[in-house]
Amino acid sequence: MPARLIHVAAFAVALCVAAACPGGAERVSTSSDAMNDQSPSFADGPTQATALELSITTPARGATLKGDPALTVKGSVIGPATAVTLNGAPVSVASDGSFNHAVQAVYGMNVLILEATDDKGEAQKLVQSFYYSTRWLQTDPQKPSTAMLDSAVRGWLGASVFESGGARIDIATVIERVLQSIDIASLIPSSQRINNVVGCDHADITISNVSFSPGQVALTTSASGLGVKVRFANLKANVKAKLSGKWFNPACLVKVSGKVKASAVEVTTTLDTKVSGGKLTATAKGTAAKVKDFDIDISGIWGFLTNWLVNRFEDDLARDLESMVKSEIDKQVGPALASGIDGLAFNEVLEIQPLVGNQATSVTLASTLGELKFEAAGARYALDGTAVAQPVVTHPSLGSLGYACGGAFGFTDKSKYPMQLAIGDDLLNQLLYSLHRGGLLKIKLDKEEAGKLLATIGNLPVTDLQGELDALLPPVINTCQSGGPLLQIGDLRAKLAFKLIGQPAEIIVHLAVEAPLTLRADGARIKLSISKPSLLEIESKDITAGGSKVFKAVQLLLEATLVPQLIKLLEDRSISVPIPELDLQQMDASLPAGTKVRLKVSKIVHRDGYTVAQGSVE
């Protein structure tokens, strides 16, 4: 029996189906007709079928394509057609009914609408979809590491994340707590004998009561790495010297005492960071120490003692302190920083409950640190990530949709928003692809579950509904459109059997859905918000008799129940990515649990294949 096709759009918004991404050729658009009758009458008799049979063989229904976007659509119109169009453009049909028509594929979902009018003036339509991109990404659930996406998530940590300058615990606080354990007094010998001093046998020098303020840390960021300055202020000590020998020399019987002090001892170094195998290492380089404002206060002091004290404090102490600070940084500070930064990576299993039934779809969301680069205003990092699931659905596919609309990503407004998180379209689409392959959109409706859906619609004389839904193509997020991000689902197939006013009917439906979307911060996660569909293309093939009554019933059933439920399924249970947090307790176990540096989201924008959450430090 010839296919009966209905072309419906719930909100009358145009879909461009024959153009390049922004900057390419001008789009050829087709507008959908608004459905005005929301409460149709079901008393109509069967509609006379047209004498036309329409088909599109290339591209195949549910195809995923790459390469040259200039495509030739092949198909046929069998029967006495007087006018044929594809996406509104006239089509020349050969004597055998075949046709070839050139179109320009766009990134993401492409909807082909073939329309024909027979010699009696009756119109018929065929609607089917395909996806196009120059990049497709493969996943292997057995080897998640092979499906890792470079820079799937990017982050920006402004200088204030490392040092706030206030009471908030930050990275500088953690480093300071480690370096405050350094004991300068341990580097200064309490006593030492110097032989052959000014005509005497020796001098015994004692240094006691060494005191200093705990080390204070200041951090700076630069292209060289993370700069660390440790300042030990108010160094003080008591000094005594006793000369011995040469009994005939009165000078050898002298005892002297006094004090030495310095305003501060400062040590500077740079943490050199490297990422390898998903792990960060941080080591000190260019370490230098300096004793500032050194002063000796000993009445009648002799030159030898002055020289010895200057050498002991300004040279030996500085050198020993350099070595100690570098050692502590390499042993404790570097690993602590690495632990905190490595902790930005997320690894979890998402258990997504289905629309009906109890069989959850499991998706592994994993990431590792891929990059950490410092610059004057802060540091940027990248996480390589993936989302994989065991395949249940095996529709032919080139993989998950890869972003292919140009533009090199970079963070902006760094001073205004000291913390930023950018989630790549590639990761979001891989997550959707894995949910699709994992069977989330393969839904079997028994009479009980279908009855619950029907109960949400009033005055629809449909009973004994059952069937199955299966998405031939995965949902995709498309941010290449100038009007904002879109959720697109091409060729969602529904096979339904039911009774309409007591009469049995069977129908196969293919839908193409497009809806505006936004991503929002929800606690510690970024989640998806989907608006009402701006485009809903429906193709229905009547398997049994029923005519317009069947079409109107299915139309209302899909628009009022199944499509909103599927969108709610994706919105509430599917798209959710954790916001990475810098767990300071991983850097210092003595800190209270939950001591973290978090992003407080103020604004979310979409740019160059990323959804960017911008905000302050929480």
Give pLDDT tens digits for 188-231.
888 888 777 666 777 788 888 999 999 899 999 999 999 999 99
**Residue 556 within any structural domain of the chain:** yes
**Residue 511 within any structural domain of the chain:** yes
CA distance 549 to 228: 76
Q: Are residues 83 and 99 in the same domain?
A: yes
**Residue 21 within any structural domain of the chain:** yes
Determine the pLDDT at residue 380: 96
Q: Which residues pair with 221 in a beta bridge?
A: 226
**Residue 1 within any structural domain of the chain:** no
Q: Are residues 110 and 257 in the same domain?
A: no
**Residue 9 within any structural domain of the chain:** no
586 CB-near residues (< 8 Å, 6+ apart):
339, 340, 343
Q: Residue with structure tokens 């994992």?
A: 438
Burial annotation 355-385 (CB, 10 A radius, 16+ → b, else e): bbeeeebebbbbbbbbbbebeebbbbbbbbb
For the residues of 48-85, what is the DSSP string, one character each? PPPS-EEEEEESPTTEEE-S-SEEEEEEEEES-EEEEE
Q: Are residues 415 and 450 in the same domain?
A: no
Determine the pLDDT at residue 303: 64
How many other C-beta atoms lie within 10 A of the C-beta of residue 412?
Answer: 12
Nearest to 162 by CA among 121, 232, 218: 218
Q: Are residues 442 and 475 in the same domain?
A: yes
Contact 89, 100 (CB under 8 A): no
Q: What does the block give as tokens for 506?
A: 């069977």
For residue 20, the enclosing domain spans 15-138+430-576
Nearest to 220 by CA among 176, 277, 268, 264: 268
Q: Are residues 174 and 293 in the same domain?
A: yes
User: How does pLDDT run across 45-104, given as a tens digit for each residue?
Assistant: 333 345 789 999 999 999 999 999 999 999 999 999 999 999 999 999 999 999 999 999
**Packing angle, helices 171-179 and 334-342, rounded to 10:** 150
Tally of CA atoms within 13 A in the half-sphere of 252 that contains its CB: 14
Determine the pLDDT at residue 533: 82
Strands 123-132 and 63-65, sheet pairing: parallel
Q: Are residues 219 and 156 in the same domain?
A: no
Amino acid at site 343: G
Q: Are residues 435 and 419 in the same domain?
A: no
**Residue 284 within any structural domain of the chain:** yes
User: In whole angstroms, what separates CA 592 from the centre of its chain?
Assistant: 28
**Residue 308 within any structural domain of the chain:** yes
Q: Which of 314, 342, 370 is the last residue of a domain?
A: 342
C-alpha distances in Å from residue 55, one per residue of 7, 18, 59, 86, 536: 16, 19, 11, 12, 20
Structural domains counted in the chain: 3
Q: Are residues 354 and 337 in the same domain?
A: no
Q: What is the CATH number of the domain that holds 441?
A: 2.60.40.1220
Q: Are residues 542 and 590 in the same domain?
A: no
Q: Which of 295, 311, 342 is the last residue of a domain?
A: 342
**Residue 10 within any structural domain of the chain:** no
11 CB-near residues (< 8 Å, 6+ apart):
34, 532, 533, 534, 535, 536
Tally of CA atoms within 13 A in the half-sphere of 306 that contains its CB: 9
Look up residue 418 and give its DSSP letter.
S
Any alpha helices (H) in 422-562, and if so which ranges? 425-437, 447-454, 547-557
Q: Which of 318, 342, 366 is the last residue of a domain?
A: 342
Q: Are residues 222 and 357 in the same domain?
A: no
Q: Are residues 195 and 319 in the same domain?
A: yes
C-alpha distances in Å from residue 420, one per residue of 163, 537, 616: 17, 38, 8
Q: Are residues 208 and 312 in the same domain?
A: yes
Look up residue 9 and give its DSSP letter.
B
pTM of structure = 0.82
142 CB-near residues (< 8 Å, 6+ apart):
none
Q: What is the CATH number of the domain that holds 276?
A: 3.15.10.10
Regions of the chain with pLDDT less than 50: 1-49
